[in-house]
Chains A and B, each alone.
Chain A
């Protein structure tokens, strides 16, 4: 409240503020403190009265410093009272007159209510997700640390290794605290309940780094090793019914029995919403193998440290790593190229969602502007009809301010009603809006209509009232007194600039939105037509994580999985069944250096490629084309033949321009050689914006009985019943592996939709906003031209009586509309040239300055404008000369 009042002091001219600003602020502060001791109502009415006083005085000081009050001898309080009374009278009049014109009231309240409503909804999302600081102490000092190594062939940015953590923690002078965190899913078992849950494996220092404390129990210490678990508030509630006795009990978590030692508060959702469990430990230098990249780091910097300074320090510290931890020559080379990448935690967690949300808030803000312009136009027209009335009042001595106030009263009533409509509207539609939003937006679940949103809505309504009412009111309050003399309705030509200006503005803003959503529609279209290398239709996928005494090595897992696939194939309607370790659009593959026989024996040689395991009819079920050779056969899985299938890009990287079939390659860390038996098409692993990955597919069993086994692959079921087959699969899982939770249950079509949700959601919302803008713009133009035609009925009548053709009259009116729209379109294009850049990385396959979109949307805008002008033009051309002249 204080800050709002302080802000209002800024309404005064700078020179006035420099001289008296601090005194005013002091008085406001002291009065507010006094009012607060008298309770909420007193402080609220003080704030309201002071706000009004500041707005009034601030504006008056700009306009005329010697003018103190309309009735200079009244005291300030009674002045307030009488001005309050005047307001009440004006508001009563306004309500009465609005009730007499229900059409006007419904249109203005509806237009504004809709526009304010979408703004309130969008604001509540932005407010919760972006404006509320993350719930950690001194969040501005939290940073996310990763690495890059330009020229090394590693990804542009990657998680660092445990040795970095130790080095940073022990040596950094700028870091106060640092922690690693990896996250994933794991099986949790408590009594009969078995589920796959999202969890994190951090270092113990995570909690101190974030400054988080448990609401129950304690935090893990080094002596706990990895036997202790901290659970989330959500898990405490849903699994343990908020029972405090859960502390000290042991459950089967992530493959071992661990004791619950603490419960975190409801705000603690690190690293992501839905993280249920933290099993933390310590990282020790003994036995640490350097170069195992992929760990996320979060740090707390000392006050006043910039990310750039920290990055410099950490980069320098990392250079000592090979000396301390050893590692291969290749590792030493990577470290040489390594640069620490530091950004604030806020950027890391919110960076990707911030842009679309701000774009959307901007878009609905534009809709509100257009709505205000429309309503202002309607008020202008309405005030025009009152010119004579106002001229009379002015002539008999009404002060200009009084006239402005009486005109403003209607706008205030309309805006207040619109604010109520908006609040109801956004409360009703917010849940649907949130369901459509991408689930990756953090803290979306916390979005609701809260006090801030209500204040925002009221503020928006108030500003709208000012925006809609002030221009018409000021213009109407200085009526042309000469009108009283000739008694005519007068020409409106000289007044039309205000109306035309508003329509120009509307057209320009609507065009900006249209072009923006046009670009997104084209991006969406382009992305829909990307060939990801697989077919997303009719594919059902899920994972299970079976455990048991018979499952102990790669062959035993392979036997279980082959048997399970046979049973899946027997389900009704199932055509093909396969499995893969990392299903596209949902999981990432692992990366390593692969060698061909030509590359020599140097352990650091090799090409950086991705690998995964696949079995059954994976390629066929996913519709991945076999380009050369053959896919896997049963023999590849049950015996150690050492056959692999590689993707097209992998083939061209390893053996450019040669036939890869029959060639051999070596996986990282192994001495055995694999033979290429097939080449398949590339797939997009991470989404449709991706570049195709070079991928090596291993058969299920790995190369030996001791190789890493595939314990929880994704099963891929090709069936026309993909959308409905889940219950049958679930029943099958229960009979085959009763204790294995089923998770990551999707259809590929659903995963494809999810992968595009950020674009489709932004496109849809922007599309709705621009449709609203277009309709409002067209209605505005139509309204203005209709009014002009009505005003010029006499003139048109005379023209027609003198022999003007209906076509000429139509052209005249349409030309007037076209002029206004034309100017609007030109301005709109200029604004769009600058502002479509805000869409940035949302765009796909289309440039921000795509000429086709600009031309197409501008043309549609012109067509809509001409249509909106044509209706009044037709009416004008049907004017009956006799009828129109009879009036006088």
Chain B
């Protein structure tokens, strides 16, 4: 049983999955995309980022990947790329649905949706 299925996904993990949804990325790029897409609220440091990646890999949501063929080789470093698995894609979609639902409920209760209509 995937431990992350049970709505236990953190915002950080969500953003990592989100970053990888557009295609394989290497570690440092994931960090940059996460920082950008969370509007700077998430700027993961190396230790935390790789622990989360490790956990997502163990959960089967993320896997090692070949870099896209047009990526220029990075000098001096054999970079590792990571990609979303099918399971990861599904988990991300589920989490997105859950967030959407949760957001809708909040809007409803706070009267945001009603004042608009």
Chain A residues packing against B (C-beta within 8 Å): 9, 12, 16, 19-20, 22-28, 30-31, 49-50, 53-54, 56-58, 60-61, 65-66, 68-69, 72-78
The smallest beta-carbon distance between A443 and chain B, in angstroms, is: 38
Specify the chain B residue showing the minimal Cβ separation from A12: B47
Closest 5 A-B residue pairs measured CB to CB? A57-B47, A23-B27, A53-B45, A24-B46, A20-B50
Are B46 and A28 in contact (CB-based, < 8 A)? yes
- Give A747 Cβ to nearest chain B Cβ, in Å: 63
Question: Is A20 within 8 A of B27, CB to CB?
Answer: yes
By the criterion CB–CB under 8 Å, are A58 and B47 in contact?
Answer: yes
Q: What separation, in Å, do the CA atoms of A22 and B53 have in the docked complex?
A: 14
Cβ 8 A contact of B48, one of A19, A25, A26, A76: A76
Q: In the bound complex, do residue B48 and residue A72 qualify as a contact, i.e. CB atoms below 8 Å apart? A: no
| Contact status A76-B46, CB under 8 Å | no
Q: How far is the CB of B17 from chain A (nearest CB, A)?
A: 14
Can you show 17 pairs from A to B with CB atoms below 8 A apart? A16-B50, A20-B50, A22-B78, A22-B80, A24-B47, A24-B50, A26-B27, A28-B46, A30-B28, A54-B45, A66-B3, A66-B55, A68-B55, A72-B10, A73-B11, A75-B12, A77-B41
A69/B46 in contact, CB under 8 A: no
For B77, list chain A residues within 8 Å (CB): 22, 26
Decide yes or no whether B83 CB sits under 8 A from chain A: no
Docked complex: B37-87 residues within 8 A CB-CB of A: 38, 41-55, 58, 77-80
- In this complex, the member of A16, A28, A76 whose beta carbon has the largest number of chain B beta carbons within 10 angstroms is A76
- Distance of A73 Cα from B43 Cα, bound (Å): 15
Asked if B8 CB lies within 8 Å of chain A CBs, one says yes
Residue among A25, A30, A50, A60 making CB contact with B51, cutoff 8 Å: A60
In the assembled complex, the Cα of A27 lies from the Cα of B49 at a distance in Å of 10
On whether the beta carbons of B46 and A31 are closer than 8 Å, the reply is yes
Contacts of A72 on B, CB cut-off 8 Å?
8, 10
* B89 CB-CB contact with A under 8 Å: no
User: Considering the chains assembled together, what is the distance between the CA atoms of A24 and B47 in angstroms?
Assistant: 7
A27–B32 alpha-carbon span in the complex (Å)? 10
Asked, given contacts A26-B28, A68-B10, A72-B10, whether A53 binds B42 with beta carbons under 8 Å apart, the answer is no
Chain B, interface size category, equals 20 to 34
For A31, the chain B residues whose CB sits under 8 A away are 45-46
- Cβ-closest chain A residue relative to B64: A19
Q: Kindly list chain B residues whose C-beta atoms are within 8 Å of the C-beta of A24.
A: 27, 46-47, 49-50
B47 to A54, Cβ gap below 8 A?
A: yes
- Smallest CB-CB separation from B11: which chain A residue? A75
CB-CB nearest in chain A for B78: A22
Chain A residues touching B, majority SS: helix
Give the shortest distance, in Å, between B9 (CB) and chain A (any CB). 8
* Known contacts A31-B46, A53-B46, A66-B3; A75 and B41 CB within 8 A of each other: yes
Instruction: Tell whether, in the assembled complex, residue B26 and residue A23 are in contact, meaning their CB atoms are under 8 Å apart.
Output: yes
Contact A65 B50, beta carbon cutoff 8 Å: no
Q: Which residues of A contact B46 (CB under 8 A)?
A: 9, 23-25, 27-28, 31, 50, 53-54
Q: CB distance A23 to B80 under 8 Å?
A: yes
Q: Within the complex, what minimum Cβ distance (angstroms) separates B117 from chain A?
A: 31
Residues of A within 8 A of B41 (CB): 75, 77-78
Q: Which of B28, B45, B52 lies in contact with A50, CB distance below 8 A?
A: B45
In this complex, the member of B8, B50, B77, B80 whose beta carbon has the largest number of chain A beta carbons within 10 angstroms is B50
Q: How far is the CB of B56 from chain A (nearest CB, A)?
A: 10
Closest chain-A Cβ to B116's Cβ sits at a distance in Å of 28
Query: Given known contacts A53-B46, A76-B43, is B12 in contact with A61 (CB within 8 Å)?
Result: no
Contact: B28 with A27, CB < 8 Å?
Answer: yes
Q: Are B49 and A77 touching (Cβ within 8 A)? A: no
B43 partner residues in chain A, CB cutoff 8 A? 76-77
- Chain B residue numbers with a CB within 8 Å of A12 are 47
Interface contact A73-B10, CB-CB below 8 Å: yes
Q: Mark B1-35, 1 if CB is under 8 A from A, else 0.
A: 00100001011100000000000001110010000
A20: chain B residues within 8 A (beta carbon): 27, 50, 53-54, 80
Residues of B within 8 Å of A50, CB to CB, are: 45-47
Alpha-carbon gap, A190 to B77, bound state (A)? 62
Asked if residues B58 and A65 are in contact (CB atoms below 8 Å), the reply is yes
Given contacts A23-B50, A72-B8, 16 further A-B contacts (CB under 8 A): A20-B53, A20-B54, A23-B80, A24-B50, A26-B27, A27-B31, A27-B49, A28-B46, A50-B46, A57-B50, A66-B58, A68-B52, A68-B55, A69-B10, A76-B12, A76-B42
Find chain B residues with CB under 8 A from A30 CB. Answer: 28
Task: A12 to B27: give the CA distance in the assembly, Å.
Answer: 17
Chain B residue, CB-CB nearest to A27: B46
Known: A23-B26, A23-B27, A72-B10. A49 touches B45 (CB 8 A): yes
Query: Is the pair A53, B54 in contact by a Cβ cutoff of 8 Å?
Result: no
**Nearest residue, chain B, Cβ from A80:** B45
A68 cross-chain contacts in B, Cβ below 8 A: 10, 12, 48, 51-52, 55
Complex Cα gap A27–B38 (Å): 19
The residues of B that contact A77 with a CB separation of less than 8 Å are 41-43
Closest to A69 in B: B10
Closest B-chain residue to A25, C-beta based? B46
CA distance A50 to B38 in the complex (A): 20
Which residues of A have CB within 8 Å of B51? 57, 60-61, 65, 68
- Which residues in A have their C-beta under 8 angstroms from that of B53? 20
CB distance from A16 to the nearest CB of B (A): 6
Q: Quick check: B42 and A16 within 8 Å, CB to CB?
A: no
